[in-house]
Structure 1
Amino acid sequence: MPAERFQIFFVGTYSEKGPYIPYANGEGILTCSLNLESGEIQQICINKDVINATYLAKDSKGNLFAACDYFEKTGEIQAFRIEEGNKLEKLSVSSSYGQSTCHLRVDQKGERIFGASYGDGKISMHSFENGHLQREPQILSFEGNGPNKERQEAAHIHQVEIYPNGQWIYACDLGSDAIWQLQLAENNEELQVVSKISTPSGSGPRHLVFYPNKPFAYVFCELDAKILTYTVDEHSGNMNLSGSISSLPKDFTGVPAGAAIKIHPSLKTLYVSNRNHNSFSVFTINNAGGELSFKSNFSSEGLEPRDFSINPTGNWLLAANQDSDTLIPFRLDTKTGLPDGTKGTSFECGTPVCILFK
């Protein structure tokens, strides 16, 4: 396939149901292609050996990593080599030492993998060398709670993210209304907690993104579906709240359920997905001060848009509608990052929960 007309991406799915996944129609990790002209999606191959791949990440050396959620049982981090034809060859597996493992990130050198486990509020740091994940990673456990008695009875780490300069690690703790700032110790072998950055009471921070070349962070909160804007002190890594804006229409009367947050490659636009509203909200970014301005809201054309991804060229947004078993491509303007109102053909995919472009 001519590279300029297609882009490869991977899809993580739920293949086994559990307490918060009432049904699971996935089959593993799919490898697909996106036609950049038409938005058509085609499946290339599938790795059926992977169970409940909740999140995917990659390094710059051709390796892919998956966080696997086994609900009340301890989860896993799995490493793969992206082979010729974009097939995945499993390299190694490590326990995540946590329950409901839901997110992971890879450092800039591809030497450390950071995993987040929601169920028991843990972070794991795995060394990765010569295709092998360290057998005994460092584990950090967090404690805390919030006012929502059903969702915030304990710490729940939902995401671990790396600051663009690679100096700090940040973890979104939905259960404690906090973002934990961590740093590698001088020996470069252990993570240490630097500070606890509080979010508004009952907000439930889920995912955050950093603006690539400015000291801004955007935190999407699951429990109130608000986006919090923070200014990052580039000397200490501390974050100061500077703004808050809702992702939902004023007439929404349901239960908020914020999900994913991404910045368009143009750096002019930010997107979030709203599950109970089954929609995407679009915001423009003031790159001078970081402020967000609401631009539009549009349907995800499916149920429970848990994740989405914007392709590297910036002309398509792919929605992963978990509960309607579909991937939907929406066309974007590459210069402004705004949707142009058209979409590609729906692609059937069982219980998709993560999309990652190669």
Structure 2
Amino acid sequence: MSEDAQYRVYLGAYTGPESAANGIRLAFADDAGRLRCTDTVADSYDPSFLALSPDGGTLFAVNEVARGRVVSFQVGPDGGLTEINSQPTHGSAPCHLSVHPGGRFLLTANYLSGNVVVHPIGEGGVLREACHVVDHSGQGPDKDRQEGPHAHQIVPSPDGRFALAADLGTDSVYVYAFDGDTGHLVLKHEVGWEPGTGPRHLAFHPDGERGYLVGELTSTITEFTFDAKTGEVRPGLVLPLLPADFTGRNLAAEVVVSPDGRFVFASNRGHDSIAVFSAEGFAQLGVVPAGVRGPRHVALSPRGDVLYAAGELSDTVQAFAVAADGALTPIGDPVPSPSPVCLLPA
């Protein structure tokens, strides 16, 4: 890492004939949060979501293809990536993955096939054969997007005792008890959202007692409570992600919570904006231009003082300074990067 760099940011992308991307890129952030992108550090097909092991020594990526795969990479001292191995996801179009807090299991959501899968992680970041696959079932009222289950995310609860899967196709959040010894999932609760919501992604508040879920199809965000003892999820207040006068097409995308727990940020594709909310009292503070087209993903710097927006359609990444009141101010011009769809500050 260069002397003026404060941290690294890995960029996942969609590859293929319509994209100039050919894998995972690496960028370095200076003390102001400005990015300097380098070349591709790992050739990989459609690495559309990325995650790091708890110790930072291994990076995991999906290959969002018809016969889905997950790949593990060793992270070098300079941030370079060396492929370790890969495994099939036993599903189609894996679009999200996360690492269990214990570092021994990788959890993946397969979008097209509507199932979730768990892979053990061996010594040195080696992925073992899948130990558990769970299929979702059901549908929603949107005939184009909800004709069947579409698992869009699976994340562990903060203490690792549960795993929560958001399914866009069934308007549900599935809460699984997670066995930390075997990696098996046992369904405890299936929590229904308003029909047609299209649950996409959720993020926990640092207190572990609440969280926020974005509905892709309704452009809304729902605050929910979470019981760490039982895994029970209770949806609460629902707020819009868009200004009241916007009438165009929009798809909500990502949601993140600031490390201090004061603010929640969510991105809009179509309106191409970022909605800002206060966590205390849960209220919208404003909606600001994302500075990119199609902000599929947003991510915060390790300290939470910079927010990055990945513009899938503009081939750019925009950085924002996060003020003490949650206000976002662009940091310089958007930085070119082909088809960015995931940002992973490390």
- Pick the TM interval, shorter chain: over 0.9
Quick one: distance in 1 between partners of 2:183 and 2:320? 42
Structure 2 residue 61 is matched with structure 1 residue 66: yes
Query: 4+ residue runs of structure 1 moved beyond 6 angstroms?
Result: none
Q: 1:116 to 1:87 in 2, by over 3 A?
A: same
Once the two structures are superposed, the pairs formed by residues 301-312 of structure 1 within 5 Å of their partners are 301-312=291-302
Maintained 8 Å contact 1:15/1:28: yes
Structure 1 residues 58-94: Cα deviation after superposition (integer angstroms, max 9, x where no partner):
0123111001111xx2111000110121100111100
What corresponds to 2:327 in structure 1?
A: 338
Once the two structures are superposed, the pairs formed by residues 65-104 of structure 1 within 5 Å of their partners are 65-70=60-65, 73-104=66-97
What corresponds to 1:16 in structure 2?
A: 16
Quick one: distance in 2 between partners of 1:181 and 1:275? 28
Structure 2 residue 39 is matched with structure 1 residue 6: no
What corresponds to 1:171 in structure 2?
A: 165
Maintained 8 Å contact 1:207/1:259: yes
Using the TM superposition, give the Cα deviation of residue 182 of structure 1 relative to its aligned residue in structure 2, in angstroms.
0.5
1:260 to 249, 254, 261: 254
Quick one: distance in 2 between partners of 1:168 and 1:4? 40
Q: 1:186 to 1:6 in 2, by over 3 A?
A: closer
Structure 2 residue 266 is matched with structure 1 residue 272: yes
Using the TM superposition, give the Cα deviation of residue 170 of structure 1 relative to its aligned residue in structure 2, in angstroms.
0.4
Gaps of 5+ in 2: none
Using the TM superposition, give the Cα deviation of residue 2 of structure 1 relative to its aligned residue in structure 2, in angstroms.
6.9
Once the two structures are superposed, the pairs formed by residues 144-155 of structure 1 within 5 Å of their partners are 144-155=138-149
Percent identity between the aligned chains?
27
1:352 to 330, 335, 340: 340
Q: 1:186 to 1:65 in 2, by over 3 A?
A: closer
What corresponds to 2:113 in structure 1?
A: 120
Structure 2 residue 154 is matched with structure 1 residue 160: yes
Provide TM-score, normalisation by structure 2.
0.95
Structure 1 residues 297-348: Cα deviation after superposition (integer angstroms, max 9, x where no partner):
1111121000011101222111100001001111112x44432x34223211
SS of residue matched to 1:85: coil
Using the TM superposition, give the Cα deviation of residue 214 of structure 1 relative to its aligned residue in structure 2, in angstroms.
4.1
Structure 1 residues 85-128: Cα deviation after superposition (integer angstroms, max 9, x where no partner):
11001111001111111000001121100000100101010001
Quick one: distance in 2 between partners of 1:57 and 1:81? 12
Provide TM-score, normalisation by structure 1.
0.92
Q: What's the RMSD between the two structures over aligned residues?
A: 1.6
Maintained 8 Å contact 1:53/1:68: yes
Structure 2 residue 283 is matched with structure 1 residue 293: yes
SS of residue matched to 1:86: coil
Once the two structures are superposed, the pairs formed by residues 192-341 of structure 1 within 5 Å of their partners are 192-286=186-280, 291-333=281-323, 335-339=324-328, 341=329
Maintained 8 Å contact 2:120/2:127: yes
Amino acid at match of 1:11: L
Which stretch has the larger CA shift, 119-128 or 58-67? 58-67
Q: 1:216 to 1:80 in 2, by over 3 A?
A: same
Structure 1 residues 196-255: Cα deviation after superposition (integer angstroms, max 9, x where no partner):
001011101000011111410211010001111111123211111221100101011122
Maintained 8 Å contact 2:15/2:339: yes
Using the TM superposition, give the Cα deviation of residue 150 of structure 1 relative to its aligned residue in structure 2, in angstroms.
0.7
SS of residue matched to 1:99: coil
What corresponds to 1:20 in structure 2?
A: none
